Amino acid sequence: MAASDPWVELPGAVVGPSLTAAGLAAWVHSRNGHEEEAAATGDLQEELHAALHSGEVGAVRVSRDTVRRAASLWEAAAELLEAWDDSIGGDAEAGRQAARLRVRVASLRRALEAG
């Protein structure tokens, strides 16, 4: 698949964790008053959900623009969590969730580069 292809294949091992990461990123953006970003984080979640409900197994084809936008939004959510961790004196859970989002961002970026 060429980088100019409008689609990206997300490996099956990335799909489930991406669904939960999208929910976490939406929650983080919403809690910080970023409603537009919160809504936009649901785009990838909706595409993955639709693919799974249509019976797709293994890798799932998703819009390249959606994956690119999700990576950016999830990165921003991780930064918000890290700021929260720093501002309240070391909330370990916020730090863990930020790290979790960064792992998911890396997996999306790998899929973008592979495509």
Domain that residue 81 falls in = 11-114
Q: Are 8 and 111 in contact (CB under 8 A)?
A: yes
Pick the residue with more confidence: 3 or 17?
A: 17
pLDDT at 67: 92
In a domain, 47, yes or no: yes
pLDDT digits (tens, 9 = 90+) for 73-82: 999 999 999 8
Predicted pLDDT of residue 55: 76
**Contact call for residues 104 and 11 (beta carbons, < 8 A):** no
Domain-embedded: residue 6: no
Q: What is the pLDDT of residue 43?
A: 80
Residue 96 in any domain: the answer is yes
pLDDT on residue 64: 93
Residue 36 reports pLDDT greater than 80 = yes
| Nearest-10 crossing angle of helices 12-31, 64-87 | 50
What contacts 115, CB < 8 A, 6 or more positions away? 1, 2, 3, 5, 7, 8, 9, 64
| Structural domain count of the chain | 1
CB atoms within 10 A of CB 61: 16
28 in any annotated domain: yes
pLDDT at 23: 92
Task: Dump pLDDT digits (tens) for 37-74.
Answer: 999 987 878 888 887 788 777 788 888 998 999 999 99
pLDDT reported for residue 87: 67
Write out the two tokens for 33. Answer: 């008053």
Q: Which of 56, 24, 20, 54 is nearest to 37 (CA)?
A: 24
Task: Report yes or no: 54 and 34 within 8 Å, Cβ to Cβ.
Answer: no
